């Protein structure tokens, strides 16, 4: 009987010791290590290459004026940039740096070369007066901010708006005049000096992601290019005001590709 009671007491004590050990282990055991998932963040840098069309809204390559040349009365009518150069193509390339997921600072170079058409300038005496301008060639640098939004139903499509400021370097532009009835023709000289013109732009567009790094985009907006540096080669003729108001507004439409680093 005593032996049976001894084993019974030993079993109770062993059970109590096992319960205490299990409780201590549950409080002191080291939890299993957490597996961390490391993601490689995309670079904030990007590059873009695009081609665009400049549609003129306003601006004159020459204004109207009345004066005298070669002892003949001259009437000059205005010619817009669109009259002389038409709708010109330009090439853009540049890069951006993301300040956040939705905000980006950008810098863009724009190259443009436009052929000039022969235009009717007005009349000299009883003869029509025609003008031939030099080609329009410019390089501009624009910097600005672009802000992206979200398209709720299409996560790969991001609308954006941007504003830019910059400067355009424009080659000198000469002008030749021809009056067939008087057999008069020749180069007037530089009509505009090489110019540094202020630029201002506002654009809206859509960026469509096609792969991890490549996206395509299209945008449109308005752009202001300041006046060119006039040449006072017509002093004393009454035609001095022909080239003193040459700033212009355009409506550029641009498509291109973007690469994220």
pLDDT of 131 reads: 95
Rounded mean pLDDT, 50-64? 95
CATH code assigned at 59: 2.40.160.20
Q: How many helices (H) and strands (E) does the chain have?
A: 2, 16
pLDDT of 160 reads: 98
Query: Does residue 96 surpass a pLDDT of 70?
Result: yes
Summary mean pLDDT of the chain: 86
- Residue 23 domain-assigned (yes or no): no
Query: Does residue 38 surpass a pLDDT of 80?
Result: no
**Phi/psi of residue 95, each to 5°?**
-150, 170
- Residue 58 domain-assigned (yes or no): yes
- Residue 154 domain-assigned (yes or no): yes
Rounded mean pLDDT, 200-214? 97
As for how many domains the chain has, the answer is 1
- Residue 57 domain-assigned (yes or no): yes
Nearest to 112 by CA among 193, 210, 223: 223
Rounded mean pLDDT, 41-65? 92
- Residue 178 domain-assigned (yes or no): yes
Identify the band that residue 207 occupies on the pLDDT scale cut at 50, 70 and 90: very high
**pTM to 2 decimal places:** 0.79
- Residue 42 domain-assigned (yes or no): no
Residues whose CB is less than 8 angstroms from the CB of residue 261 and which lie 6 or more positions away in sequence, other chains included: 43, 45, 46, 47, 213
Query: In which residue are the tokens 């601006």 written?
Result: 59
Checking phi first, is residue 181 left (phi over 0); if not, alpha (psi -120 to 50) or beta?
alpha
Which structural domain range is residue 224 located in? 48-260
3-state class (DSSP) for residue 53: strand
- Residue 18 domain-assigned (yes or no): no
- Residue 98 domain-assigned (yes or no): yes
Residues whose CB is less than 8 angstroms from the CB of residue 136 and which lie 6 or more positions away in sequence, other chains included: 81, 85, 88, 112, 113, 114, 116, 170, 171, 173
Identify the band that residue 19 occupies on the pLDDT scale cut at 50, 70 and 90: low
Which tens digits make up the pLDDT trace of 121-174?
999 999 999 999 999 999 999 999 999 999 989 999 999 999 999 999 999 999
């Amino acid at each position: 009987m005593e032996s049976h009671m001894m084993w019974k007491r030993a079993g109770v004590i062993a059970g109590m010791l096992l319960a205490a050990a299990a409780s201590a282990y549950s409080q002191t055991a080291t939890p299993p290590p957490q597996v961390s998932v490391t993601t490689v963040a995309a670079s904030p840098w990007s590059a873009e290459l695009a081609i665009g069309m400049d549609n003129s809204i306003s601006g004159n390559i020459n204004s109207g004026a009345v004066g005298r040349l070669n002892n003949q009365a001259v009437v000059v009518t205005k010619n817009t940039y669109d009259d002389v150069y038409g709708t010109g193509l330009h090439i853009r390339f540049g890069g951006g740096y993301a300040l956040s997921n939705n905000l980006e600072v950008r810098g863009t170079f724009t190259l443009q070369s436009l052929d000039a058409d022969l235009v009717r300038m007005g009349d000299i005496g009883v003869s029509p007066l025609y003008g031939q301008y030099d080609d329009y060639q410019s390089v501009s640098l624009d910097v600005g901010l672009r802000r992206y939004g979200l398209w709720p139903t299409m996560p790969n499509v991001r609308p954006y708006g941007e504003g830019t400021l910059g400067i355009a370097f424009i080659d000198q532009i000469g002008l030749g005049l021809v009056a067939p009835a008087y057999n008069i023709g020749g180069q007037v000289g530089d009509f505009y000096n090489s110019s540094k013109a202020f630029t201002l732009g506002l654009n809206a567009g859509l960026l469509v992601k096609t792969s991890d790094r490549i996206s395509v985009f299209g945008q449109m907006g308005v752009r202001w290019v300041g006046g060119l540096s006039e040449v006072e080669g017509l002093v004393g003729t009454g035609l001095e005001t022909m080239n003193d108001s040459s700033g212009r507004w355009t409506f550029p439409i641009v498509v291109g590709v973007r690469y994220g680093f």
